[in-house]
Amino acid sequence: GNSVTQMEGPVTLSEEAFLTINCTYTATGYPSLFWYVQYPGEGLQLLLKATKADDKGSNKGFEATYRKETTSFHLEKGSVQVSDSAVYFCALRKAGNQGGKLIFGQGTELSVKP
Amino acid sequence: EADIYQTPRYLVIGTGKKITLECSQTMGHDKMYWYQQDPGMELHLIHYSYGVNSTEKGDLSSESTVSRIRTEHFPLTLESARPSHTSQYLCASSEPGRDNEQFFGPGTRLTVL
């Protein structure tokens, strides 16, 4: 079936360090891929998305490239800030799914220290 | 700016009580969703709706029920709360279209004693 697997957290980094959060997926066809972020005490917000192979989503300094050959959508940021501390969720929407249902990974908690 | 609201934000209640978690959105979205979020953070879809009078069970079985009488309102009800229902409940909505994002409310943290 369809599934999303993320690297386990928590991830702890110093400010200005490089961030990678790995995400791999299992799906038939060509799903759309998303990264959502959840700040403490809040709901999820869309961070970026990619809808087809080799697309790169980017927002707020974060990037992720849809790699069909490796079924991956790793999240990267060149220089993290304390304000980036949050939980990050990778998600997919199945190809042909008109209902809009998302399948989420288990989330990766990021903690950035000054 | 997303306009999706959930009340209450926090609820502590005794076993056996009936509770309703409210979710409202002012964006006119047809599609709405309820997720249950584990203490370990994983999200599971428990209910969704494609429009008025349309409700479906999600991927995770839940003893809760939902209704969709108005486009903007998607309440979730537990007839008899139990400690196993303790969790965070997140509501979301989206516009039609394959790649349209889901907008999330702030969540309701439910504790059943």
- Please tell me the predicted confidence (pLDDT) of residue B2: 60
- Please tell me the predicted confidence (pLDDT) of residue A97: 58
pLDDT tens, A30-57?
889 999 999 988 889 999 999 999 999 9
Q: DSSP letters of chain B?
A: ---EEEE-SEEEE-TT--EEEEEEESS--SEEEEEEE-TT--EEEEEEEEETTEEEE-SS--S-EE--SBTTB--EEESS--GGG-EEEEEEEE-SSTTPPPEE---EEEEE-
- Please tell me the predicted confidence (pLDDT) of residue B38: 83
- Please tell me the predicted confidence (pLDDT) of residue B95: 82
Q: What is the DSSP letter of A61?
A: T
* A6, containing H or E segment: strand A3-6
Which pLDDT tens digits describe chain B residue by residue (113 residues)? 568 999 999 999 999 999 999 999 999 999 999 999 987 788 899 999 999 999 999 888 889 999 999 999 999 999 999 999 999 999 999 987 666 788 999 999 999 99
- Asked if A94 reaches chain B (Cβ–Cβ under 8 Å), the answer is no
Phi then psi dihedrals of residue B71, to 5 deg: -55, -40
- Please tell me the predicted confidence (pLDDT) of residue B60: 84
- Please tell me the predicted confidence (pLDDT) of residue B77: 96
CB contact at 8 A, B89 and B107: yes
- Please tell me the predicted confidence (pLDDT) of residue B1: 56
Count of A–B CB contacts within 8 Å?
66
Count CB atoms within 10 A of the CB of residue B46. Answer: 22
- Asked if A34 reaches chain B (Cβ–Cβ under 8 Å), the answer is yes
Q: Do residue A100 and residue B102 have CB atoms under 8 angstroms apart?
A: yes
Chain A CB contacts of B102 under 8 Å are 44, 46, 100, 102
Q: Least CA distance to B90: which residue of chain A?
A: A43
Q: Do residue B41 and residue A87 have CB atoms under 8 angstroms apart?
A: yes
Closest partner CB to B94 (pick from A100, A103, A104): A100
Sign of CA dihedral A40, A46, A48, A52: positive
Specify which residues B45 forms β-bridges with.
Answer: B35
Rounded mean pLDDT, A75-92: 96
pLDDT confidence band for A8 (50 / 70 / 90): confident
Rounded mean pLDDT, A55-84: 97
Q: Least CA distance to B101: which residue of chain A?
A: A46
**Radius of gyration, alpha carbons of chain A:** 14
Distance from CA of B80 to the nearest CA of A (A): 26
Q: Alpha carbon of B76 to those of A37, B2, B57, B68, B87: distances in Å?
A: 24, 20, 12, 10, 13
CB contact at 8 A, A65 and A53: no
Count CB atoms within 10 A of the CB of residue A76. Answer: 15
Task: Indicate which of A4, A7, A39, A44 best probes the interface with B, i.e. most B CBs within 10 Å of its own CB.
Answer: A44
- Asked if A49 reaches chain B (Cβ–Cβ under 8 Å), the answer is yes
**Mean pLDDT across chain A:** 92
Cα dihedral B39→B98→B63→B80 (10° resolution): 80
Residue A97 exposure: Cα atoms within 13 Å on the Cβ side: 21
- Please tell me the predicted confidence (pLDDT) of residue B35: 95
CB contact at 8 A, B33 and B92: yes
Q: Which amino acid is at A91?
A: A
